[in-house]
Structures are given as structure tokens and as C-alpha cells.
Amino acid sequence: MSNTQELATATEARLETTASRLRELVSHLRQQRAQLREEWARLITEAKLLTAMTKEEIFAEATSVYDNYVEALETGTYEALQAYARNLSERVIPRGVETHEVVGIVLLLRDVLARSLFAKYREDFNKLNRILDAYEPAANRIAATVAVGFVQERERIIREQQEAIRELSTPVLQVRERLLILPIIGVIDPQRARQLTEQLLRGIRTNRAKVVVLDITGVPYIDSPVANHLVQTVEAARLLGAIVIVTGLSPEIAQTLVNIGVDLGKMNTVGDLQGGIEEAERLLGYKVVPVSETAAQPA
């Protein structure tokens, strides 16, 4: 009975001392703020980290990171630091700051602070050990929080950019009333194929198109699932009342289409884009008249 009680008291005491050690640590870091921050900024420049930023900018960020760092040590909560890390990443990623730089500066700060602790407690080795016991887990958790925040932000930005690029990669151009052109350049993967279909079908509806020229001159090859998808897109367009003319089929793509057994009666193909547009205009009832002929007509 008395044993258990003693044990509980000991645990409580240990918890309390961890807290009191962290308090001691925090007050030390606050006192030494100016000097340690300076030291850290110097090391960042020396290690050639954050080269995309000016000295003043590095110093300003270093101040914020320092204060957030100390606050996380003091409160044991990481939400504010997490929010700051995300915000920082949002600002520095467009300027080309890399993951290793952000991780690097946080690790440098950890080392700067640890060294100042060595200096302060070098006379009392036992105390130094106890202070480090309290400091290290917190410092590691801070480093992880900042690094993860940065990587997540980077991934979010990459996802957004991929989405934007994908949309740019299938432009729907209206060249005349009722006539759309979709010039496709580059490899069509399944995801791009799906997007192409959606944009083509929506484009038909919003532009009230009757003819669509799908130019695949810039597509090096397609595999059979994508070829099938293209054929289905042509058929879906017909259900909306539009005709799709495919132009610029390479010999390889022609081979793929023949291999999957495409019903060529359903595919309207013309050799090149120019020919495709002429065919489209014919279908739309436009008449192409040479300029000299119109000029020669009497007024």
C-alpha cells in the first residue's frame, strides 16, 4: 500500500519536474532570444539555405519561427506552429524553397538551442541531462510538425497545378459558329482521355456545335483502352447531334484502331487538320470560294 503510494508520488513528481524544467528552458530561451536568433540566422546563411530569400527576409522569418518554437515548447500544443508552418510554406514555395531547406533550418535551430543549453549547464552534467530529456522529444516533434506541414502544402500545390495543366491540355476552340476544334498534343493517359470526353461533350452543348474537329497530329501513340475511349467519345457526340471528324492519325494510331476492330463506318477521318476544317465547313453548308474569283466578280 505504501509502496503504491510512493510510486504514484514519484510519477507525479517526475511529471511536475518535466514541466518545471520546460518552464526553466523557455525562460532561458526568451532571455537569450536576440543572441540565439542572430546565431541561427548566421548559420542558415552559412549553410546556404533559403538562398531564394534576402537576409532581411530570413531574419524576419527566423524571428517568427523562433517565437512559435518557444511557444510550442511552453504550451505543448502544436496547432499554432502547424498553422504558421502552412502559412510559411504557402509564401516560400512559389519562390522555389525546397523541402530540405525547410527541414534544414528547423534542425539548425534545434542544434543552436541545444548548444546554448550545453553552455548554460556545463557545470552541472546531471541537470543538463534532465533538461535535455525534456527538450529533445519536444524539439523533435516541432521539427516533424514543420516538415510535415511543408510537404503537405507542397503536395496540395502540385495537385492544383496538375489540375490546371490538365485543363489547359485540352483546349476547346470555337473557330466558327457551330464548329469546334480540339487540338490534342502529347500522350493521352486514361485520366486525360476522360477529361477530353467531358470537355468535348460539354463544349458541344454550350457552343451548340454541330461539327467537332479532333486533331490528334500531336499525339504520338495511343493504347487500345484509350483508342476505345476515343471511339466511344465520337459515338457519344453523335448522340448529342454532333459529328466528330478525327484528323492527323499517325500510322501507329491507325494500326491500333484497326487492331481493336473499330467500325470505320462510325469514324469520320480526314488526313490533316486543314482538310478536316474544309470537310467540317462543307458539312455545315459553308461554301469555300477562292479570293480571286470573288474579286473578279462584277460589282
In 10 A of CB 187, how many CB atoms? Answer: 13
> In this complex, which beta carbon is closest to other proteins, that of residue 77 or of residue 191?
191
243 binds other proteins (CB under 8 A): no
Q: What is the phi/psi pair of residue 48, to 5°?
A: 55, 45
User: What's the half-sphere exposure (Cβ side, CA atoms, 13 Å) at 144?
Assistant: 7
89 binds other proteins (CB under 8 A): no
38-77 residues in contact with other proteins (CB under 8 A) are none
251-280 residues in contact with other proteins (CB under 8 A) are 266
240 binds other proteins (CB under 8 A): yes
242 binds other proteins (CB under 8 A): yes
Cα 41–Cα 45–Cα 49 angle in degrees, nearest 5: 105
238 binds other proteins (CB under 8 A): yes
Q: Pick from 34, 37, 22, 46: which is nearest to 104 by CA?
A: 46
Q: Quick one: DSSP state of residue 94?
A: G
User: What's the half-sphere exposure (Cβ side, CA atoms, 13 Å) at 133?
Assistant: 13
State the Cα–Cα distance between residues 31 and 25, nearest whole angstrom. 10
Q: Min. distance of Cβ 293 from other proteins in angstroms?
A: 27
x/- string (CB under 8 A) for other proteins, residues 170-209?
Answer: ---------------------x--x--xx--xx-xx--x-
State the Cα–Cα distance between residues 128 and 84, nearest whole angstrom. 30
> In this complex, which beta carbon is closest to other proteins, that of residue 23 or of residue 205?
205
The three cell numbers of residue 271 are: 488526313
214 binds other proteins (CB under 8 A): no
User: What's the half-sphere exposure (Cβ side, CA atoms, 13 Å) at 181?
Assistant: 21
The helix/strand/coil state of 258 is helix
The residue from 76, 225, 241, 271 that contacts other proteins (CB under 8 A) is 241
Q: Min. distance of Cβ 243 from other proteins in angstroms?
A: 11
- How many helices (H) and strands (E) the chain has is answered by 11, 5
Sequence-distant (6+) residues with CB within 8 A of 200 are 170, 172, 180, 182, 212, 214, 233, 237, 244
Q: Min. distance of Cβ 191 from other proteins in angstroms?
A: 7
**103: buried, middle or exposed (CB in 10 Å: 19+, 13-18, 0-12)?**
middle
Q: Min. distance of Cβ 269 from other proteins in angstroms?
A: 18
> In this complex, which beta carbon is closest to other proteins, that of residue 49 or of residue 244?
244
Stretch that binds other proteins, among 25-33, 77-85, 108-116, 233-241 (CB under 8 A): 233-241
Stretch that binds other proteins, among 67-75, 79-87, 232-240, 269-277 (CB under 8 A): 232-240
> In this complex, which beta carbon is closest to other proteins, that of residue 238 or of residue 282?
238
Give me the residues that bind other proteins (CB under 8 A), please. 191, 194, 197-198, 201-202, 204-205, 208, 210, 232-233, 235-242, 266
